[in-house]
Structure 1
Amino acid sequence: MGLKKSILLIILILIIDQVSKFYIKTNFVLGESVDVYNWFKILFIENEGAAWGAKLSDILPISDNTGKLVLTIFRLFAIVGIGYWLFDIIKKQSPRTYILAVCLIFAGALGNILDSVFYGVLFDASNGNVATLFSDEPYGSLFYGKVVDMLYFPMVDTTWPEWMPYFGGSRFRFFEPVFNIADTAISTGVGILIVFNKRVFGEHDEEVDTSITSEEDYLSAKE
């Protein structure tokens, strides 16, 4: 998988991710939901923190604004590192599966970074009303945007039996997190690296082994 195809894939994911977020922001009020199926809903929420809504201010003795800024800056450094990683494996002609996985991770990370960096100055607040693009009164500032999430799969929504210790009578819902296309791309990329670990990281070694036909070839390959 070459550089051009990788760039096209990344652009395609970014377009789908951003179009879906723009649509939700400009058509849904915060907290509004639409049932697609019993097990799939479009639910508009905004994530101010990291994965699963976690905040640095919940862990460190810093304000929410400082935590948000630190997280956004960290994401920017991370995307540079992932970009270098992707360029390096393309240059080395790594296995296609490997490049595909890193493309997905890069595109997903970049998609959420766009929200964090720019959405605060592009939109006004979605609380109680539909947001306006290029509003005169944006809800935040540069680097203080919120990530838009909307995909929700409550495939199981029930209550634990009363006889169960500790959990009895409490509500159980699977799958609870609300996420977006960018999150899906990241999770898929990481999943590919885990599931196809041997194919991703062992393919080059196998190719070298099949090309060795003599002891001299083996010693040359080792050098």
Structure 2
Amino acid sequence: MSLRNAYLLVFIVLLVDQISKIYIKTNFVLGDEVEVFNWFKIHFIENEGMAWGTKIPGEYGKLILTLFRLVAIGGIGYWLWDSVERKHSSNYLIVAIALILAGAFGNIVDSVFYGVIFDDSTSQLATLFSDQPYGKYFHGKVVDMFYFPFWSGNLPQWLPVWGGRDFTFFNAIFNVADVAISTGVGILIVFNKKAFHKH
């Protein structure tokens, strides 16, 4: 795969990711949910940008996370360029890296810019390019919306640790960027030998 095609893939994924996030942000109030099927819902949440809504504690936690991601994107971008330029990297590897780069880029856009281009989504629809933004540069929240609660119920008492508790599978809420990252990592794991095979 050429570098041009790899960048095109990154651009398409990034475009779809941002269009979906801007649509959700400007048409849903935080916590709103639309049921597509009983196992698939659009549920609007925001988080600080780490998996499962985890955050780095402290006043500068969010800034540290955002700066770390920017450095990581630079490293992934170089990895993509280097893999294409070497001419012998497999398309599996190039597609995987491009997807991971696109996903990381998609979430970093939220973190860097959303705090200054949107107002708050709590109890109101957010406005794009608001004159009363909810945050500042590098402190934006990542928009998530895809929710697949395939099964919800009470776990049997005999199960260790989780027995008797309410449980939902799958309870993560994510976005297009997260799908791209997960798919890229999945390709590297499932097609490991092909991805790292040298012609």
Structure-1-length-normalised TM-score: 0.86
Aligned residue for 2:162, secondary structure, equals coil
Q: Is the 8 A contact 2:93 2:195 kept in 1?
A: yes
Rounded Cα–Cα distance in structure 1 between residues aligned with 2:160 and 2:141: 38
Q: 1:1-223, aligned counterparts within 5 Å?
A: 1-57=1-57, 63=58, 65-93=59-87, 94-202=89-197, 204=198, 207=199
User: How far, CA to CA, are the matches of 1:14 and 1:138 in structure 2?
Assistant: 23
Aligned equivalents of 1:171, 1:78: Cα separation in 2: 37
Structure that is richer in helix per residue? 1
Deviation sequence 1:98-121 (CA, Å, 0-9, x none): 100000000000000000000000
- SS of corresponding position for 2:60: helix
SS of the equivalent of 1:69 reads helix
The code of the aligned residue for 1:26 comes to: T
Q: AA paired with 1:119?
A: Y
Q: Please tell me the root mean square deviation across aligned C-alpha atoms, in Å.
A: 1.1
**Ranges in structure 2 where 5+ consecutive residues have no aligned partner:** none
- In structure 2, give the amino acid aligned to 1:147: V
Give yes or no for contact 2:49–2:111 (8 Å, CA) kept in 1. no
Q: Distance in 2 between matches of 1:22 and 1:47?
A: 15
* TM-score calculated relative to the size of structure 2: 0.96
Q: For residue 73 of structure 1, what is the amino acid of its counterpart? A: L
What is the letter of the counterpart of residue 189 of structure 2? I
Q: SS of the residue aligned with 1:6?
A: helix
| Aligned amino acid, residue 114 of structure 2 | Y
Runs of 4+ aligned structure 1 residues displaced above 2 Å come to 161-169
Q: Where do 5+ consecutive residues of structure 1 fail to align?
A: 58-62, 208-223
Count of aligned positions: 198
Looking at CA atoms only, which structure, 1 or 2, has the larger radius of gyration? 1
Instruction: Name which structure has the greater RCO, CA cutoff 8 Å, separation 6+.
Output: 2
> AA paired with 1:72?
T
Paired with 1:20 and 1:169, the residues of 2 have a C-alpha distance of: 37
Deviation at 1:163, TM superposition (A): 4.5
C-alpha distance in 2, partners of 1:41/1:34?
6
Report deviation, 1:165: 4.7
The percentage of aligned residue pairs carrying the same residue is 60
Distance 2:155 2:91 in 1: 45
Secondary structure in 2 matching 1:68: helix
Aligned-partner SS, 2:196: helix
Given that residues 49 and 56 in structure 1 are in contact (C-alpha distance below 8 angstroms), is that contact kept between their aligned partners in structure 2?
no
Closer/same/farther in 2, CA of residues 99 and 166 from structure 1, 3 Å limit:
closer
Asked whether the equivalents of residues 96 and 185 of structure 2 are also in contact (C-alpha less than 8 Å), the reply is yes
Shift of 1:53: 1.0
